Structure 1
Amino acid sequence: MNNIKKLLDNEFEQRNKEYELSYDKPDPLLVASRYDDEYIILLCALFAYGKASMIVKFLDSLDFSLLDASDEKIDKELDSFYYRFQNSEDIKIIFKTFKKMKKTSSLNEIFLKGYKENSSILEGLDYLIKQIHEIANHKSQGFTFLVSSPLKRDKNGQIKEIGNAPYKRWNMFLRWMVRDDELDLGLWKGIDKKDLILPLDTHTFNVSRKLGLLTRKTYDLKSALLITEKLKSFDINDPIKYDFSLYRIGQEKLFIF
């Protein structure tokens, strides 16, 4: 594992630079980093699925000032917008929902209501996701995919590690908001970066298995938690600093082992 730590430490040092975000090397953080509005940044994270270049292209096409516009203007301006699983109605609803939420509370405050009791990232996520669904009051396959469903629980009310998806886009959003360096934004308070969970996608999943950080073959929340524990042995206070490096290694197919 010492060789793996050395590799990842080196990758982190090389990649923790602003120039890692460009149209030549697209990432949704390229768009999100232009803003200090947590609701805009969350929109960038939630739509961050699919090919990176197409994600950035779609995010560039959105007028985020609509979050402060009337419902009528939102309906008019977004009438022809769609993105993969989301139709125009789904996109209108998420804008209207976030507009409504912005007037009453910050996302940081809502998240902390779930997180603060046991410093649980998953409880914080679950609480926030439920709040979005409650305020949106909209059910469709596309909208549910965009926001994610509340986390599944066992008969004792505990969040399941096996049986839940990795919640990659949400954990990526939390990385952006909690960590603070050349890439991540560090806009949220009250959350310890040591509690973050790896935003597991197919790139980081495959790379983690090749590097020996994971032996499980299942792409799920349990795997994300297991890799996170391995990364804590490299840096107990900031394990998710390695996420961007793992992602880029997979994206750029830099398998040197």
Structure 2
Amino acid sequence: MSKKKVNLDEVFSLLNEKAEQYNNLDFIELDPISIPHRFSLKQDIEISGFLTATISWGNRKAILNSAQKMLDFMDNSPYDFIQNFTGKDLKQIETKALHRTFSGEDFAYFLKSLQKIYSEFESLEQLFIVNENETNFYHALDRFRVVFLNEDTIKTSKHVSSTYKNSAAKRLIMYLRWMVRDDKKGVDFGIWKNIDAKHLSIPLDVHTANISRELGLLKRTQNDWKAVAELDLIIRKYNPKDPAVYDFALFGMGVNKDF
């Protein structure tokens, strides 16, 4: 028996409606993006956003609590702390539990890597630039990973996804949406002006992937980079300038069972 043909015009009419419904300030309160929204300095936003995105798996309330622990350790001034902390400061955090498998030791490694990066660059944006011949962040994310992990430790490297190992890199893709999209709706920040939103993808988690399959947008059963690329092809036909706006629709419909 053949499956009913999907009417993509109807599907994207629904997605546009749902994106409009969820892409507003009400979205922020219970979402991890609420953490960087506490700040106004560009570097504070991108540091707190990066650290929060890194631990964004599991219960959202637990994510927010763990992110607050990291902010407390940095005296709620991420950029100032990154610039000035010493090895002695990190001793206080290295033995502590932070968020599930993300340990105090992992956090300390992240802080040291961020300190090195900010000693060389004004913004994290410079490490995510998409080259002229690239259409998405597949290569850019690997370049970032190489720089960030530096003298890579196997234990910590698992917290920085590898697109070259076919990871969907959901948390990094989500972080890029936060930093790059600039639609004046007040949710995403749009503070990275040298990266075009047309290169963004959908952060593929259980919610966005399952709804994509229900709607006939995704056939691949694994939530990996190949699935991200498959979804890219179809959503960019309908919205080539701002494909990641559909993250609001797919995630909102999934997490709120609004389908």
TM range (shorter): 0.7 to 0.9
CA contact (8 A) 2:69 2:98 kept: no
Which one-letter code corresponds to 1:57 in the other structure?
Answer: N
Which one-letter code corresponds to 2:21 in the other structure?
Answer: Q
Residues 150 and 121 of structure 1: is their aligned pair in 2 closer, same or farther, counting only changes over 3 Å? closer
Match status 1:168 vs 2:170:
yes
CA distance in 1, matches of 2:126, 2:117: 11
Counterpart of 1:2 (choices 4, 9, 23) is 9
Specify which structure has the bigger relative contact order, considering alpha-carbon pairs within 8 angstroms and separated by 6 or more residues: 2
Match status 1:128 vs 2:144:
yes
The residue number in structure 2 matching 1:31 is 35
TM value normalised by structure 2 = 0.85
The residue number in structure 2 matching 1:147 is 160
The residue number in structure 2 matching 1:238 is 242
CA distance in 2, matches of 1:228, 1:150: 15
Tell me which moved more, 94-103 or 63-72: 63-72
What is the Cα deviation at residue 40 of structure 1?
2.4
Deviating 4+ runs (over 6 angstroms): none
Gaps of 5+ in 1: 153-163
What is the Cα deviation at residue 89 of structure 1?
1.1
The residue number in structure 1 matching 2:117 is 101
Which one-letter code corresponds to 2:199 in the other structure?
Answer: D
What is the Cα deviation at residue 187 of structure 1?
1.1
CA contact (8 A) 2:55 2:102 kept: no
The count of aligned residue pairs is 236
The residue number in structure 1 matching 2:5 is none
Mapping for residues 59-138 of structure 1, pairs under 5 Å: 59-63=67-71, 64=74, 65=78, 66-68=81-83, 69-77=85-93, 79-105=95-121, 106-112=123-129, 115-119=130-134, 120-134=136-150, 137-138=151-152
| Residues 157-206 of structure 1, C-alpha deviations (whole Å, 9 max, x = no match) | xxxxxxx0111111111111110132111111222111112110111000
RMSD: 1.7
Where 2:218 maps in the other structure, the secondary structure is coil
Identity of aligned residues (%): 31
CA distance in 2, matches of 1:250, 1:140: 33
TM value normalised by structure 1 = 0.85
CA contact (8 A) 2:18 2:248 kept: no
Where 1:82 maps in the other structure, the secondary structure is strand
